[in-house]
Amino acid sequence: MRGLPDPATSRAVLIGVSQYVHLAELPAVANNLPALADIFRGANGWSLEPQHCSVVAEPADLNAMLTPVAQAAREAEDTLLIYFAGHGLLDDRGDLFLGLTGSYAGQAHTGVPYSMLRSAITTGQAQRHVIILDCCFSGRALGVMSGSMADHAQIDGSYLLAAAPETKPALAPPGERFTAFTGELLQTLENGVDGAGPWLDLESVYRQLLRALTAKGRPVPQKRGRNTAGDLLLGRNRAYQDGAAMGHGAGEGGFHWPDPVDVESAEEFIGALGRVRAASGRTVQTVSRLAPTPVAAGTISTLLNRTTVPRTWRSIQAFLGGCGMPADQIPRWHETWLRLRELPAQPAEGEPSEAPPQQKAVQARRRLRWMSMNRKP
């Protein structure tokens, strides 16, 4: 599923360890957790119910950290987000483990091996995973790894945000309220990104973090995305003003609907439908309930996960109406659906294909546009 996570079927677990017996304390981590929880529980974020956004502070043992993760993984159907801030360490084999309050450096049995966290996450049925690692000792932990934290901690179908590259530690600057990485993340989510659309997706957030942290001379964040996970929305863009980037007509809350006029493939069409729901701010269940003609929530979920254009128009029309799109804008979507429906199915891998005249015309326009942009003076 693309776009804004459904708050009813999504879960977040925010884990932080600021107090250590045998390692340096990280007081800023204690401030990270409630601030992030406010974001994900708020109307400008995911609107998660408090019980669906768990805060796990100062876990003293493996069960205290992993039990909430495993429970959230069992419950999540749409999106599962796991955040960890604290010490990231290496065992004697170079494997990453996360520090608990009583952890010792180099002794994985005193912490939580990342492989165990990974197993707890992937046992569930969530369509998407988001993992955010703000490990204050990640530089030392990753220094002997063959790849980056993103490579080491990769989960299929996930989007991973890591606070630092393998050769530098993440920072908890003295006197600052938050850790360097999470502080920048909070500022991005609270203040928005100039020039972006009405919603912030993971890729936009990462690019902003990269710009801001690099400009401050702080550790450079890393990311690894799988499939369309980078399209997932973290919340409203508070810096958004005129909504011109989203389309041609204002929706609820002053946001603009995507315009399908330039959509040229089934994937783009389904992606645009996902942005319609994001612009509406409505959950799948709400869209189902408010649709002018009956359409089940499961049908909507199936629609938003398709890779081909539906053969019938009824569910699309009901979906657009349930999102609150004005009736005078829906015919544009019908015209696009009719146009895409006439395109031939893609051939099987390895089979030759001949572009239809309509597609050839599109390709010709693109070539002319490229030539005009690259013509020497």
pLDDT tens sequence across 275-297: 888 777 777 888 888 888 889 98
Spatial separation of the C-alpha atoms in residues 98 and 86, rounded to whole Å: 7
Spatial separation of the C-alpha atoms in residues 191 and 188, rounded to whole Å: 5
Tally of CA atoms within 13 A in the half-sphere of 273 that contains its CB: 31
Model pLDDT, residue 1: 36
Percent of the chain predicted with pLDDT > 70: 78
Contact 124, 131 (CB under 8 A): no
Spatial separation of the C-alpha atoms in residues 333 and 268, rounded to whole Å: 12
In 3D, which of 156, 11, 155 has the Cα closest to residue 79?
11
What length does the chain have? Answer: 377
pLDDT digits (tens, 9 = 90+) for 117-160: 988 998 888 988 999 999 754 433 333 333 444 554 555 567 88
Model pLDDT, residue 272: 85
Structure tokens at 127: 């369509």
Model pLDDT, residue 344: 66
Model pLDDT, residue 256: 62
| Ranges 92-96, 170-174, 244-248: which has the least confidence | 244-248
| Ranges 56-70, 75-89, 112-126, 213-227: which has the least confidence | 213-227
Give the ranges where 323-356 is alpha helix by DSSP (H): 330-341
3-state secondary structure of 250: strand
Spatial separation of the C-alpha atoms in residues 258 and 247, rounded to whole Å: 4
- How remote is the C-alpha of 76 from its chain's centroid? 15
Residue 252 has pLDDT above 50, yes or no: no
**pLDDT band (50, 70, 90) for residue 336:** very high
Model pLDDT, residue 371: 47
How distant, in Å, are the alpha carbons of 71, 140, 203 from that of 94? 29, 11, 29
**pLDDT band (50, 70, 90) for residue 224:** confident
- Give the DSSP per-residue string, 160-224: EEESS-TTS-----TT-SS-HHHHHHHHHHHH--TTS-SEEEHHHHHHHHHHHHHHTTPPPPEEE
Instruction: Sketch out the chain's domains with CATH numbers.
Output: 11-236 (3.40.50.1460), 249-362 (no CATH)
Q: When comparing pLDDT for 2 and 61, which is higher?
A: 61
How distant, in Å, are the alpha carbons of 68, 324, 331, 342 from that of 131? 15, 33, 40, 40
Spatial separation of the C-alpha atoms in residues 86 and 170, rounded to whole Å: 10
Tell me what the mean pLDDT of segment 340-351 comes to: 60
Give the ranges where the chain is alpha helix by DSSP (H): 27-41, 62-75, 114-122, 138-142, 149-152, 180-191, 202-215, 266-280, 284-290, 297-304, 314-322, 330-341, 357-374
Q: When comparing pLDDT for 366 and 328, which is higher?
A: 328
Mean pLDDT score across all residues of the chain: 80
pLDDT digits (tens, 9 = 90+) for 22-77: 988 889 999 999 999 999 999 889 999 999 999 999 999 999 999 999 999 999 99
Residue 329 has pLDDT above 70, yes or no: yes
Residue 246 has pLDDT above 80, yes or no: no
Query: Residue 347 carries which DSSP code?
Result: P
Tell me what the mean pLDDT of segment 156-176 comes to: 73
Residue 231 has pLDDT above 90, yes or no: no
